[in-house]
Amino acid sequence: MSTIKIFTKLSNLLFVAAILLGLFLPQAAPVAFVLIPPALMITLTVTLLRFPPGFFNKPRTLLTGALWGNLMSYLVLG
Protein backbone atom coordinates (compact mmCIF):
# COMPACT_ATOMS: atom_id res chain seq x y z
CA MET A 1 0.00 0.00 0.00
CA SER A 2 2.78 2.45 0.77
CA THR A 3 4.27 1.96 -2.71
CA ILE A 4 0.94 2.86 -4.28
CA LYS A 5 0.78 6.02 -2.18
CA ILE A 6 4.27 6.98 -3.36
CA PHE A 7 3.20 6.62 -7.00
CA THR A 8 0.09 8.72 -6.51
CA LYS A 9 1.66 11.55 -4.54
CA LEU A 10 5.27 11.75 -5.72
CA SER A 11 5.04 10.64 -9.35
CA ASN A 12 6.67 13.81 -10.71
CA LEU A 13 9.53 13.46 -8.25
CA LEU A 14 10.02 9.84 -9.31
CA PHE A 15 10.24 10.84 -12.97
CA VAL A 16 12.79 13.58 -12.21
CA ALA A 17 14.84 11.09 -10.18
CA ALA A 18 14.71 8.63 -13.09
CA ILE A 19 15.95 11.28 -15.52
CA LEU A 20 18.80 12.29 -13.22
CA LEU A 21 19.83 8.67 -12.66
CA GLY A 22 19.77 8.12 -16.42
CA LEU A 23 22.07 11.08 -16.94
CA PHE A 24 24.54 10.09 -14.24
CA LEU A 25 24.45 6.30 -14.76
CA PRO A 26 24.18 5.69 -18.52
CA GLN A 27 25.73 2.21 -18.18
CA ALA A 28 22.47 1.01 -16.57
CA ALA A 29 20.50 1.65 -19.78
CA PRO A 30 20.38 -2.00 -20.99
CA VAL A 31 18.86 -3.13 -17.71
CA ALA A 32 16.53 -0.15 -17.44
CA PHE A 33 15.31 -0.66 -21.01
CA VAL A 34 13.66 -3.92 -19.95
CA LEU A 35 12.11 -2.45 -16.79
CA ILE A 36 10.70 0.79 -18.22
CA PRO A 37 7.48 -0.47 -19.95
CA PRO A 38 6.11 -2.33 -16.89
CA ALA A 39 6.96 0.60 -14.63
CA LEU A 40 5.22 3.00 -16.99
CA MET A 41 2.12 0.80 -17.17
CA ILE A 42 1.79 0.66 -13.40
CA THR A 43 2.57 4.34 -12.90
CA LEU A 44 0.13 5.53 -15.55
CA THR A 45 -2.60 3.24 -14.28
CA VAL A 46 -2.31 4.34 -10.68
CA THR A 47 -1.49 8.02 -11.18
CA LEU A 48 -3.95 8.98 -13.88
CA LEU A 49 -6.98 7.28 -12.36
CA ARG A 50 -6.52 8.78 -8.85
CA PHE A 51 -8.23 5.99 -6.98
CA PRO A 52 -10.07 6.81 -3.71
CA PRO A 53 -8.36 5.76 -0.43
CA GLY A 54 -10.33 2.55 0.29
CA PHE A 55 -10.17 1.31 -3.27
CA PHE A 56 -7.12 -0.95 -2.85
CA ASN A 57 -8.45 -3.48 -0.35
CA LYS A 58 -7.80 -6.24 -2.91
CA PRO A 59 -5.39 -4.65 -5.42
CA ARG A 60 -4.67 -7.81 -7.40
CA THR A 61 -8.27 -8.21 -8.54
CA LEU A 62 -8.57 -4.52 -9.40
CA LEU A 63 -5.31 -3.89 -11.21
CA THR A 64 -5.14 -6.99 -13.37
CA GLY A 65 -7.80 -5.67 -15.74
CA ALA A 66 -6.15 -2.26 -15.90
CA LEU A 67 -2.73 -3.76 -16.56
CA TRP A 68 -4.12 -6.02 -19.28
CA GLY A 69 -5.71 -2.96 -20.89
CA ASN A 70 -2.40 -1.11 -20.83
CA LEU A 71 -0.58 -4.12 -22.25
CA MET A 72 -3.09 -4.36 -25.09
CA SER A 73 -2.67 -0.64 -25.77
CA TYR A 74 1.10 -1.08 -26.01
CA LEU A 75 0.68 -4.01 -28.40
CA VAL A 76 -1.94 -2.36 -30.61
CA LEU A 77 -0.46 1.14 -30.70
CA GLY A 78 3.10 -0.09 -30.99
39, 7 Cβ separation under 8 angstroms = no
Q: Assess contact for 4 and 59: CB atoms under 8 A.
A: yes
- Between CA 12 and CA 2 the distance in angstroms is 17
Question: Long-range contacts of range 30-37, CB-CB < 8 Å, 24 or more positions apart?
Answer: 37/74
- Kindly report, residue by residue over 12-45, the tens digit of the pLDDT: 777 777 778 888 888 888 877 777 777 777 777 7
- pLDDT band at 6; cut points 50, 70, 90: low
> Residue 10: what are its φ and ψ, rounded to 5°?
-120, 30
pLDDT above 90 covers a percentage of the chain that reads: 0
